[in-house]
Structure 1
């Protein structure tokens, strides 16, 4: 992947740096003449590496970058032009350079270099020094790009692990851990935007009988088919989760206490009106029971009380005959079959 470098400094600084790093392979290089000009480029393009002419403005820019989590990974290299002290630089780094380096690192820079950018020709000593400094600069740039590349690979690995951790491997739905993260976020969003929010908690009726009669592999196949049916028939803003075992939760965004029971009843019909084809020789008829609850002002921000009401309504649906959806609102219970115990 091509790396991106942004060089920020005065015109002579930009010209000198382009001459020294412009031939780096697999790098695109852009320039800016001030921190103010660089900020929108950094925000929009997020370059891998910044080379900044050392100044109070560049120190402040480094600090601002490192304080923003989405930009903090950018590698910041501060470069000071130390032309007046060329002879001193040959023998040792000045105490002032040490102080400047320490301050730069304390303010967020990842590296600090002192170079002579103005002298291109001269004595053999000057030529050797210039060559060594150019080598050091290029090595520092490559080291910075390695750090950024390793960070990006780590972030990709973390994203993959997060996706695995939040996904149920059997049904490919989000799992309970994902629900515990997503529900508080949706509650906060609903309250901030003054929108309704509801939950459906559903359970496969007599699922143990399916496992006992046909075996757990058939039961697993049944859950996979049911999950696929849910995923393909829910509205695009409804989010299903496998809560555990044969129990599922669906977050109904922007859905109030009058609409949610209608959705719950539709889901019950979706499951009961079509058999599940396990293989060419086996079809299973199944039903679900559903409990529905809508967000209220007194509900906690994590959604625990909301989940509890949905669970209580699910228990009611099972105790009142199964194959039905029950909500906290009155007259929202409806059976979808005449017999309370559908055959397996």
Structure 2
């Protein structure tokens, strides 16, 4: 996987060294020698990831990172701080500024490439979510994308650790900020992870009876936990396993002995990023639903009908099984709108949809075609049965007045219905056209009736 990496360092030899290492791994490299230049490059969208030196004249790396993470246009950019400072307090300061990781000079080349690849994957996923969310927001079908990462505290964490002393230290560090569940049994941990909504899973690589990396791999393969951040706890000698974990999709790691402030900072970083990604996914999901759902009635719309019906007709043709459709049109609906207002008309449409849905089978598909016209698709249903269902629907609509204006009055409503059957082997347009012709026969014959059209 390639990516555009921005390397920021005021010392030219350091800049050239990192550029050479990354270029050898087929990354595209952009360089900057000061904080302002780096901010401008990021704001123009010319990089996917930032390797940021801490000690620079003027604006140091901490300030550059803070500005990147406070800007809605750049807050999703992964930032790795590169520094000669190796104290825990320095790492915590960087993480609190919003950095995704810390690399200490002299830089381990293998660790550098593993971390860059891992964060590049994360960035590409985030870009796709942002692009879809921005498109949806611009079309007005979902909320605007979030413009901040949020606080990152609160929520639930699962800790998979069978060392009692280690588990207790972590619990003490996180207490008051997160609700932490501890699971010492690795097999049970996988079940526990899928049963509750965790915002972070912390996995020890030093489990006595199970490979911690296997847990990480299994968590990544399960739908329920695929997007949950994973933080590994490792020992100094676990270097190769750490790199392997990053390749498997683990988000971050901590090397023992674990500093309380650092695990809090890393947990906060992962939780903030997850909440941001979840908000983007929610926007995308909302847009997908709105694309196929009629907002007034909650039924599927015409776009969904066309795709669904095509699949059913192909199945009907392969298995010689019938499929029937009903087209329903509310009689004199324009008069309802003209007499009582469009709000009353909306009430009628919602009540109508609920009544019809109550009278058809659970496996039938009801859609709103537009206006006062609806369609019910009935798999494995012959014409005679579909007509009987149509008669049941017609009676349910006609026999009880519809309350409008918040129940202040009730009006009589009737529906005309056309029904047709297909065994496949024709287009959906031809199939629906026959039902539509039957509907016109119902209307021309006095309305409030059901008419069937044979194939």
TM-score (norm 2): 0.52
1:218: which partner in 2? 341
Are residues 1:6 and 2:131 paired? no
Work out which of the residue numbers 21, 45, 56 in structure 1 matches 2:196: 45
Bigger shift: 60-69 or 187-196? 187-196
Alpha carbons of structure 1 residues 246 and 22: separation in structure 2 relative to 1, 3 Å: same
1:75: which partner in 2? 229
Structural RMSD (CA): 4.3
Secondary structure at the aligned position of 2:451 is classed as strand
2:420: which partner in 1? 293
Q: Is the 8 A contact 1:231 1:240 kept in 2?
A: no
2:179: which partner in 1? 27
How many angstroms does 1:167 deviate by?
Answer: 4.3
1:90: which partner in 2? none
Alignment of 1:113-262 (within 5 A): 113-116=254-257, 133-158=259-284, 160-161=286-287, 164-171=290-297, 173-180=299-306, 198-208=324-334, 210=335, 215=338, 218=341, 221-222=344-345, 224-232=347-355, 234-235=358-359, 237=362, 239-252=365-378, 255-262=381-388
Question: For 2:332 and 2:323, how far apart are their aligned partners in 1?
Answer: 29
Are residues 1:107 and 2:248 paired? yes
Are residues 1:16 and 2:142 paired? no
Q: Is the 8 A contact 2:400 2:412 kept in 1?
A: yes
Deviations for 1:171-222, whole angstroms, at most 9, x for unmatched residues? 45443345456657878999999997543211234545x27xx738636624
2:215: which partner in 1? 61
Question: For 2:316 and 2:225, how far apart are their aligned partners in 1?
Answer: 29
Bigger shift: 269-278 or 65-74? 269-278
Q: Is the 8 A contact 1:274 1:285 kept in 2?
A: yes
Higher relative contact order (CA 8 A, sep 6+): 1
Secondary structure at the aligned position of 1:269 is classed as helix
1:310: which partner in 2? 435
In structure 2, stretches of 5+ residues that fail to align are 1-152
How many angstroms does 1:290 deviate by?
Answer: 1.3
Work out which of the residue numbers 318, 325, 328 in structure 1 matches 2:450: 325
Count of residues paired in the alignment: 294
Q: Is the 8 A contact 1:48 1:75 kept in 2?
A: yes
1:120: which partner in 2? none
Question: For 2:266 and 2:318, how far apart are their aligned partners in 1?
Answer: 47
Q: Is the 8 A contact 2:365 2:377 kept in 1?
A: yes
Question: For 2:232 and 2:245, how far apart are their aligned partners in 1?
Answer: 7
TM-score (norm 1): 0.66
Secondary structure at the aligned position of 1:70 is classed as coil
Deviations for 1:153-182, whole angstroms, at most 9, x for unmatched residues? 445555555555554344454433454566
Q: Is the 8 A contact 1:6 1:32 kept in 2?
A: no
In structure 1, stretches of 5+ residues that fail to align are 85-95, 117-129, 331-344
Q: Which has the larger radius of gyration?
A: 1
